[in-house]
């Protein structure tokens, strides 16, 4: 059977569309490992070489992204980081609703998967905007019951050979429920600090405080990105610093692309991400 030009172009267009859709769906499954080496000026020598694994934006859905979360957990198990941080959005707020406690039920199977994460310095999390607008207390309790420490405007020190590094975290900053000042109130100003904040764009405000590294998520990197154009849609407080490493004043910021997706289970030129940080001290030889 011969094809005229119009029919050929129609079939070719359909083929490209199907191939693109297939690629987008496949890209949403396989997490990519991003390795980031950072020298922090105030990092004590005793902490030189400490590794931190970051996961973010799970938006648990048993149908679409449970496999991605499991794959990420398996990868982190092989990496054996010293500390694991989870930067929010364990559940998804239903569309067209401001609050919905029923969405919080997805936290239980998500936390059941995440409880498999193991690190010598533990697993610590902050809540995201979707968590806050569902049932933040319920989600906090769920994660805590699965051995995940949740920071909501709080901090704690990690000690090694007589030196300390502080791990701090805000409550969600979009709500707004969180406070940078409250999160850091127990932290001595002269000690190295890693701050977990779900929304990256608050970094301009965080940089006014003695914070060495801010770790965020929220933006999904745009989830769908086009060559030469970038991401056509980005969320509030995730538009200025949507992806990757930035230096803001004396502070470093890293925005993780996340594991899950929202609304549509599709990623395009923006694969899910596991980030492994290796922190260096300028005092080490």
- The secondary structure element, H or E, covering residue 107 is helix 107-114
Distances (CA, A) of 278 to 95, 172, 175, 197, 284: 38, 26, 32, 19, 14
Residue 129's nearest CA partner among 258, 251, 240 is 258
6 pLDDT higher than 70: no
pLDDT score recorded for residue 11: 39
Q: In terms of pTM, does the model score above 0.75? A: yes
**By mean pLDDT, which of 40-49, 59-68, 134-143, 192-201 is the weakest?**
59-68
- CATH hierarchy code of domain 31-280: 3.60.21.10
201 pLDDT higher than 50: yes
Residue whose pair of structure tokens reads 């000026």 in the numeric block: 41
Q: What would the pLDDT profile of 103-159 be if each residue is shown by its tens digit?
A: 899 999 999 999 999 999 999 999 999 999 999 999 999 999 999 999 999 999 999
Residue ranges of the domains in the chain?
31-280
Q: How confident is the model at residue 263 (pLDDT cuts 50, 70, 90)?
A: confident
């Amino acid at each position: 059977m011969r094809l005229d030009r119009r029919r050929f172009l129609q079939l070719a267009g359909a083929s490209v569309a199907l191939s693109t859709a297939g690629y987008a769906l496949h890209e949403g499954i396989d997490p990519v490992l991003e390795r980031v080496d950072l020298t922090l000026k105030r990092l004590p020598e005793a902490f030189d070489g400490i590794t931190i694994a970051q996961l973010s934006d799970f938006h648990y859905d048993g149908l679409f992204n449970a496999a991605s979360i499991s794959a990420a957990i398996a990868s982190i198990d092989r990496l054996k980081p010293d500390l694991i941080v989870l930067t929010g959005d364990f559940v998804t707020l239903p569309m067209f609703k401001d609050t919905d406690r029923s969405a919080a039920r997805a936290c239980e199977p998500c936390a059941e998967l995440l409880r498999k994460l193991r690190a010598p310095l533990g697993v610590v999390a902050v809540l995201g905007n979707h968590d806050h607008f569902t049932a933040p207390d319920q989600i906090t309790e769920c994660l805590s019951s699965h051995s995940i420490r949740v920071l909501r405007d709080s901090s704690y020190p990690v000690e090694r050979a007589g030196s300390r590094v502080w791990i701090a975290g805000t409550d969600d900053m979009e709500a707004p429920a969180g406070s940078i000042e409250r999160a850091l109130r127990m932290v001595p100003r002269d000690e190295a600090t890693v701050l977990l904040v779900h929304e990256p764009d608050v970094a301009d405000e965080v940089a006014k405080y003695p914070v060495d590294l801010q770790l965020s998520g929220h933006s999904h990197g745009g989830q769908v990105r086009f060559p030469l154009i970038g991401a056509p849609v980005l969320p509030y407080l995730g538009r200025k610093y949507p992806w990757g490493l930035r230096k803001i004043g004396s502070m470093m910021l890293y925005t993780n692309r996340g594991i899950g997706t929202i609304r549509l289970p599709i990623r395009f030129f923006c694969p899910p991400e596991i980030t492994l940080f290796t922190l260096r001290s300028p005092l080490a030889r």
